[in-house]
Amino acid sequence: MKKSKTKAAASAGRKSSKAASAKTALPKLNLAEGGDGLRQALEILRDSSQTVDKRLEALRVLQSASFGDEQFDAVRGDFVAALREVTEDKEVKLRQRALGLLARSQDSHAEKVLMAGLKQPEKAVVPAADALHYLSYNLHSGVQSLARSIFESSKDQGVRQQALRLMSNDPQALKTIQKTLADKKETVEIRQTSAEALHALDPTAFQKWASKAVLDKSEHADVVATSLTALQHFGDAKAIAGNSALRERLGEITAGKSAPKLKRMAKMISSKYGL
Amino acid sequence: MSPTLSQSEMREAQFAAQVDEVVRNARSDAQRTLIDLCDERNAAYVDQPASAVTRMRGWALESLCRVAPLPDEGLPFVLEELETAHDPYPLALAAWCLRTYPQPLASFGPALSMASRNAQGLDAPVMLGVYGGAGPAGSGNTSPMREVDATIAWLGPNGVLPAGSCCPELPESIAGLFRRKVRGPAANRAAVDRVALQDHRGETRSFRERFRGQPSIVVFFYSRCDNPYKCTLTLSKMSRVQAILEERGLFDRISTAAVSYDPVYDTPERLLRYGRNRGFRIDSEYHVLLRAPEGFDVLRRHFELGVSFFDSFVSRHRIEVFVLDGEGRVAFTFQRLNWSEEKAVDEALALLAAAPKSPVTAASAASLAGLAASLVPKCPMCWATYMSFLGVTGTLPVLGSVGLKALAASLLTLHLLLALWRVRVTGWHASHTLSVAGAVAMGINLVNPVSGLAWVAVALMMIASILTVRRQYTA
């Protein structure tokens, strides 16, 4: 499958989904009770001659049954088999749903398909950002090293952001994350995601950085807001209380022409830490 | 440099070919080779992601069960997967593999019972006979539930326990494969003694300081482990160990420690949170959660840990529990299968009972030698008294003033040596500071007598002696 085709399909999927939800709810399936009904739903899901909406509804029925329907254990294996089949379906919406569900249960086949798509985009069955998102469900999928290289090479900010999220549990990505956070040429979204990643990997380093970012008058307001939030919720009370420069800067923000959101946050921090 | 996925894929393909060759050639050592390949410590698993390790070990295990009936040495791997598998492929494979064992044993029942519970939530298509356990588009020829059901049927009446009985034990020849006494000193002892271990409060002490002076029960875990039957269960079981220690009045005589496999990620805060959430008690110096920010590899070699890594992530580990003696040496291990908390405490208690009392005697001897040195005369009056005594007893010709000083110096040297030996055994304590300070004061007084210094020296050494003995008995 070509990359362009994947993108087009993804876009078409989103459009058709919006159109469907605008018109009507998903169709009713008239299924039998209990296990027979679940088997009927499985047949509909597998049947590519059915409409996408009908197959999505069958998938919804099966998914909700998987959370506690006693009859479901008898068809669980068949459900996984059906989802694996659907990962190759021509409808991207179905592929996305199936891969998302399988990846959540750390299904080895789904992970193989997703990894293959990231390594060879012509084999991708879902957009790269989705693939990274699904693979993030399994910490041990081994995707982290791939995520690092995708982050460095991709031009797509959505993909890079998703790769960064994956890197937030990878100690080997620490330097890249710190570098990205400090790089004012990166987009605010990417830097904010880097901030979250650094907080997850090294909370102490992030606290230090957040204090510096608040002091930096040339820093973007949204990045300052992120830093203020971090100081407010996770700050080291002793270090903050003893930081006279920070106290002064918070006073400036509160009294100056900063955005109301920043002023409010600065006030809250001052009041919390008695500055 | 971190391994790339393409390198690991290439090595995985080579591994599969190597296993196939072992099977094809039916070499006499085929079973041994395949058993070695089931061990997660095998070099083949270095820098392989978890999914690859699952496929590789699965293929080695499946091949082992195809070349001949499953041997006893292969049972630990099979029973471990039945109890703890978190993936459909190894679970289905283990259930199938067990049926190749020469006879169904009633003691397989508990592991199969756990497998049956796990299989319900893990059921998915699995393809046995194919590398990786999956056919085209993830199709399969069996599933965990089918294989577990078939194995329960194979167990037949053996699996039905008489009313009121519980949990038949594995024959000792097999059980011994999961737990063993360890003899002989570890090769890298000096290196492991120096490894700095940071606890959940952020305090750092050396391995020697942590584990010398009392027996310890030590487990390994990591907070990012997503298998509920491994790390989470291990920590919960350690809280049970602590409860047993308390019931038996051993809470401050046997220590417990949980050490992270993932020292970079598992910060003190994460250790604390993970332990607390699983009931691990940390309200005493003797019960700690630890990480080795530097030197984890030394620990890994010392304990021969069954763990493999990819990048900075654990890709596979076995359950492992160690009982250490009062010298910090591994004396007993439990591996792979669910271990018994009572048995671990019994082993530690046996070590406590067998611990020699000599350290107390030696410690006291150090101070006694110092005290004896204090008896050597330091003032003109004392000298006269001693001289008179030696003269009356006829020993004066043997020992002159110089001889007495030499005797005092020898006793002080002996005192210092014994004190330093104690430092090496137990790590540095306040009592050692006092003891050495007393000896130094006494030495100064011998060379250049200062009024009252001898009594200060005697007092320091006596306090040191009392503290040492008190510490030994309260420990």
Inter-chain touch A77–B124, beta carbons under 8 Å: yes
B236 pLDDT more than 50: yes
Domain region containing A230: 202-275
State the pairing for strand pair B255-260/B320-324.
unpaired
A-chain residues near B49 (CB < 8 A): 140-142
Site from A145, A168, A204 to mutate, B interface, most B CB atoms within 10 angstroms: A145
Residue A255 neighbours by CB under 8 Å, 6+ apart: none
Q: Which residue has the higher pLDDT, B308 or B418?
A: B308
| Residue of B109, B107, B78 lying closest to B95 (CA atoms) | B78
Q: Which residue has the higher pLDDT, B26 or A205?
A: A205
Same domain, A16 and A111: yes
Q: Give the integer Cα–Cα distance in Å for B417 and B427.
A: 14
Query: What is the per-residue pLDDT across B310-337, written as a single tens digit (0 to 9) for each?
Result: 888 999 999 999 999 998 999 989 887 7
A53 pLDDT more than 70: yes
Same domain, A125 and A225: no
Q: Give the integer Cα–Cα distance in Å for B175 and B337.
A: 9
Q: Tell me which residue in B5, B86, B315 faces A146 most closely, judged by beta carbons.
A: B5
A182 pLDDT more than 70: yes
Is A60 within the bounds of a domain? yes
| Closest approach of B122 to chain A, Cα-based (Å) | 8
Burial of residue A72, with CB atoms counted within 10 A of its CB: 0-12 exposed, 13-18 middle, 19 or more buried: middle
Is A152 within the bounds of a domain? no
What is this model's ipTM? 0.81
Same domain, A102 and A216: no
B-chain residues near A142 (CB < 8 A): 5, 8, 49-52, 310-311, 313, 315
Mean pLDDT within A111-130: 95
Mean pLDDT within A28-36: 84
The answer to whether A258 and A250 are in contact (CB under 8 A) is no
Q: Tell me which residue in B50, B143, B269 faces A77 most closely, judged by beta carbons.
A: B143
Query: What is the per-residue pLDDT across B247-285, written as a single tens digit (0 to 9) for each?
Result: 999 999 999 999 999 999 999 999 999 999 999 998 778
Q: Give the integer Cα–Cα distance in Å for A247 and A214.
A: 10
- Write the DSSP assignment of A169-220 as a string of letters: T-GGGHHHHHHHHH-TTS-HHHHHHHHHHHHHH-HHHHHHHHHHHHH-TTS-
Average pLDDT of chain A is 88
Site from A78, A87, A108 to mutate, B interface, most B CB atoms within 10 angstroms: A108
Residue B47 neighbours by CB under 8 Å, 6+ apart: B3, B7, B8, B309, B310, B311
Same domain, A19 and A113: yes
Q: Is B1 on the interface with A (CB under 8 A)?
A: no
Mean pLDDT within B217-244: 95
B312 is written with which tokens?
């900075």
Backbone angles phi, psi at A103, to 5 degrees: -65, -35
Inter-chain touch A142–B313, beta carbons under 8 Å: yes
Is A156 within the bounds of a domain? no
- Write the DSSP assignment of A152-175 as a string of letters: HH---HHHHHHHHHHHTT-GGGHH
How many domains is chain A built from?
A: 2
- What is the count of residue pairs from A and B with beta carbons less than 8 Å apart? 97
Q: Give the integer Cα–Cα distance in Å for A107 and A250.
A: 49
3-state secondary structure of B60: helix
At which of A98, A114, A137 does a domain end? A137
Is A244 within the bounds of a domain? yes
At which of A106, A137, A168 does a domain end? A137
Is A206 within the bounds of a domain? yes
B438 pLDDT more than 70: yes
With pLDDT > 70 as the criterion, what percentage of chain B qualifies?
82
Q: Tell me which residue in A81, A139, A201 faces B226 most closely, judged by beta carbons.
A: A139
Mean pLDDT within B144-148: 97
| Closest approach of B450 to chain A, Cα-based (Å) | 49
Same domain, A90 and A10: yes
Mean pLDDT within A212-228: 92
B20 pLDDT more than 50: yes
B415 pLDDT more than 50: yes
Is A170 within the bounds of a domain? no
The answer to whether B195 and B292 are in contact (CB under 8 A) is yes
pLDDT band at B290 (very low <50, low <70, confident <90, very high): very high
Inter-chain touch B138–A171, beta carbons under 8 Å: no
- The DSSP secondary-structure symbol of B159 reads G
pLDDT band at B74 (very low <50, low <70, confident <90, very high): very high
Same domain, A124 and A218: no
A-chain residues near B226 (CB < 8 A): 106, 138-140
Is A185 within the bounds of a domain? no
Is the Cα dihedral B169, B170, B172, B176 positive or negative?
negative
A257 is written with which tokens?
């022409």
pLDDT band at B1 (very low <50, low <70, confident <90, very high): very low
Query: What is the per-residue pLDDT across B391-414, written as a single tens digit (0 to 9) for each?
Result: 555 554 444 456 667 777 777 787
Q: Which residue has the higher pLDDT, A67 or B174?
A: A67
Same domain, A118 and A246: no
pLDDT band at A1 (very low <50, low <70, confident <90, very high): very low
Mean pLDDT within B432-441: 81
Same domain, A133 and A60: yes
List B residues 179-238 in contact with A (Cβ-Cβ < 8 A): 224, 226
State the pairing for strand pair B307-310/B313-317.
antiparallel
Mean pLDDT within A55-70: 90
Is A144 within the bounds of a domain? no
Domains in chain B: ranges and CATH: 5-175 (no CATH), 179-354 (3.40.30.10), 358-474 (no CATH)
B2 pLDDT more than 90: no
Same domain, A131 and A263: no
